[in-house]
Homo-oligomer: A and B are copies of this chain.
Amino acid sequence: MKKLLIASTALVLTAGAAAADISISGYGRFGLGYTSADVNPMGGAASTWVEQRLRLNIVASTTSDMGVEFGAKMRMQYDDSNTMVAGNRAQFFVSYEGFYAQVGNITTALDEDTAGLFYATEIGLTDTGFGDSRSDFFAYESKAGNGNKVGVYGKYTISGVTLEASFINPDHYDLNGVVAGSVANDKTETSFVASYEGGPITVAAGATWNGAGIDGNDVWYLGGKYAFNDAFSAGLTYINEGESALVDLGSTTSIYGTYTVGAMGVTAYVAQIDNYDTAAPKSDTSFGIGASYDLGGGVKLLGAVHRDYDEETFAEAGVKFAF
């Protein structure tokens, strides 16, 4: 069969000032997972499994005569035990010099997290980290979601400083619960993140009010990372968690360090909590260590082992390839 093969890394073809661009990008990952817990992440009883994800982003954009870029993104994502794949709700964006804004199915300020410190403990094939926030807050929806949820996101970058703000109304069209996935908690979520990257220093601070539309579910965080040399960097993130079902989730503090040599990188973290969202866990400490090996061409070998707050072991190893 004849095939259309189009390509490739950062190839841009344009035709005149009135150029439109279509980009297809994303990644695939597959490997093996293991848990010592009774239930695996897919909700089944298998203790080992094949981990799978295929993410396709279709991005279409065009640029006006004055240089303002208007675009939209649709994602199609397959994960593990899904039976099929649908396109997600659209995200529209506008970009002009240092300004960048989104409308619709936005990334929130906490979700975008330009400096990366809010998710600093994520390692391995599936970017898992037990130092992640345990609070509820909105994020970009990769799959089918609440059609009534509409947001606006803005970002401004200048001299290493990035300012991000987002607002999400989870009941925007007021469809009175007709839409699947509409939420009972319908407050507007408001988020801000400020971060700075300069030389060896990265710092970030952020906050969310009414996270996930839940009245009074407020979250804030502070993080800092320092690159001691080309090979080693380390950091700390403190998250003041919000509330879940009227229970205060306390705080989550994590420290982490990354050592890189050639194509190899090793990251380790320890996270500590002073409250928990459901029953009391066996431990207030979790930790993990992960390694990555860059095979070139966008291909990486990734592996990690974690011990969570219930003292269960979670491990995974596999390959991830970006395109």
Contact = CB atoms under 8 A, between A and B. Distances in A.
B19 A7 contact: yes
27 contacts: A2-B9, A2-B298, A3-B23, A4-B23, A4-B25, A4-B323, A5-B11, A7-B13, A7-B15, A7-B19, A7-B22, A8-B14, A8-B19, A9-B16, A10-B15, A21-B323, A28-B70, A44-B178, A52-B150, A56-B60, A62-B323, A68-B299, A74-B76, A83-B89, A83-B144, A83-B145, A84-B88
Give the most central of A25, A62, A85, A179: most B CB within 10 Å. A62
Contacts of A4: 6-9, 11, 20, 22-25, 323
Nearest to A29: B92
A150 B16 CA distance: 41
A269 to B, nearest CB: 23
A271 to B, nearest CB: 26
A107 to B, nearest CB: 14
Nearest to A323: B20
A143 to B, nearest CB: 7
Q: What are the nearest 3 A-B pairs in CB distance? A: A65-B296, A85-B87, A84-B144
A80 B172 CA distance: 10
A185 interface: no
A245 interface: no
Contact of A10 (B3, B146, B298): B3
Contacts of A279: none
The complex is assembled from copies of this chain, and their number is 3
B87 A76 contact: yes
A67 to B, nearest CB: 9
Interface string A245-286: 000000000000000000000000000000000000000000
Interface string A57-93: 0101111111010111010101011111111111010
A62 B144 contact: no
A6 B15 contact: no
Contact of A2 (B80, B84, B143, B323): B323
A44 to B, nearest CB: 4
Contact of A84 (B22, B87, B104, B150): B87
Nearest to A52: B104
Contact of A28 (B42, B53, B63, B90): B90
Contacts of A43: 173, 175, 178
A98 interface: no
A58 B44 CA distance: 30
A103 interface: yes
Interface in A31-62: 40, 42-46, 49-50, 52-54, 56, 58, 60-62
A27 interface: yes
A25 B2 contact: yes
